[in-house]
Structure 1
Amino acid sequence: MADVHSKEVRSKNMRAIATRDTAIEKRLAGLLNDCGFAFRVQDAALAGRPDFVVEEYRCIIFTHGCFWHHHDCYLFRVPATRTDFWLEKIGKNVARDKRDIHRLLSEEWRVLIVWECALRGREKLSDESLRERLEEWICGGGRYAEINTAGIHEREE
């Protein structure tokens, strides 16, 4: 199936996709504020330019879009057009994520991934549920975890 947009229109649309201050980042920032955590955003000095850095607890928090970072959930669909291109592009994102997370963990940072599906969409978690999970993980420990629609899950390094 051919793209419904010309190359110029598709390029313009892709350039308009925000890389910071996205809706999911704003929601997570509000939840972190509600919990009383002090944080920095988009720290370019750290691998992967983390969305949030909670220095007091030595925590890194990434908000990952389910499409761009290939999350196995209802928000991820392989595009019908230019499938090979998109799978290669997304695959590179996933490989970069793994490299950056490994580097942060080796530098003694704790890493939390909050998936887009937990923050928006028909199966999103409530603010109360997200706040509880954030506070539990940030204050309680754990080296590497993810929050998705099913809750919080510790990950292997």
Structure 2
Amino acid sequence: MPDRFTPQERSRIMSLVKGRDTKPEKVVRSLLHAMGYRFRLHRNELPGKPDIVLPKYRKAIFIHGCFWHGHAGCRRAARPESNADFWNKKIDENMARDKKAQAELKNSGWDLLVIWQCEMKDLEKLRRNLNQFIKGEEIAEND
């Protein structure tokens, strides 16, 4: 199916997509703050510029949109059929960049957590997972 927008309209729409201070980021930041944790945002000097950094604990948190970062098995990550070559390249590059940055962070002694957009529905579970992650406890998959 062809794009229903002109290239100029599509460009304008895409330029409005935010890369930081998104609603999911704000939800996680609010939870962390309410739990008493203090953090830094988008630290340039760290690989991948994590969305949230807790330097005291050497923890980094990435909040990924399922579409933009290619969340495997998620319905929100379905790739568009129109302009497929462009989107496949873009998302594959995002995934490769994420993988590289995360490996560099781990090799530097940082623990990291990736929170996917689709995991934001259950805030109590998200709060538990954040607390377990920061305390260094294993996060239960079925939790």
Shared fold by TM > 0.5? yes
Q: Which runs of 5+ in 1 are unaligned?
A: 153-157
2:127 alignment partner in structure 1: 131
2:24 alignment partner in structure 1: 24
- Given that 1:63 and 1:113 are in contact with CA atoms closer than 8 Å, whether structure 2 keeps it comes out as yes
Report % sequence identity. 39
Q: Which structure has more helix as a fraction of its residues?
A: 2
**TM-score, normalised via structure 2 length:** 0.93
Separation in 2, partners of 1:136, 1:102:
21
- Given that 1:133 and 1:151 are in contact with CA atoms closer than 8 Å, whether structure 2 keeps it comes out as no
Deviation at 1:151, TM superposition (A): 5.4
Q: Which runs of 5+ in 2 are unaligned?
A: none
Q: How does 1:110-149 map to 2 (within 5 A)?
A: 110-119=111-120, 124-125=121-122, 127-141=123-137
Deviation at 1:140, TM superposition (A): 2.2
Separation in 2, partners of 1:128, 1:85:
37
**TM-score, normalised via structure 1 length:** 0.85
Q: Which structure has more strand as a fraction of its residues?
A: 1
Superposed CA deviations along residues 42-64 of structure 1, whole A, max 9, x for unmatched, are 11111111100011110000000
Q: Secondary structure at the match of 1:113?
A: strand
2:46 alignment partner in structure 1: 46
Deviation at 1:98, TM superposition (A): 0.6
Post-superposition, which runs of at least 4 consecutive aligned residues in structure 1 deviate over 3 A?
Answer: none
Deviation at 1:141, TM superposition (A): 4.4
Deviation at 1:83, TM superposition (A): 0.9
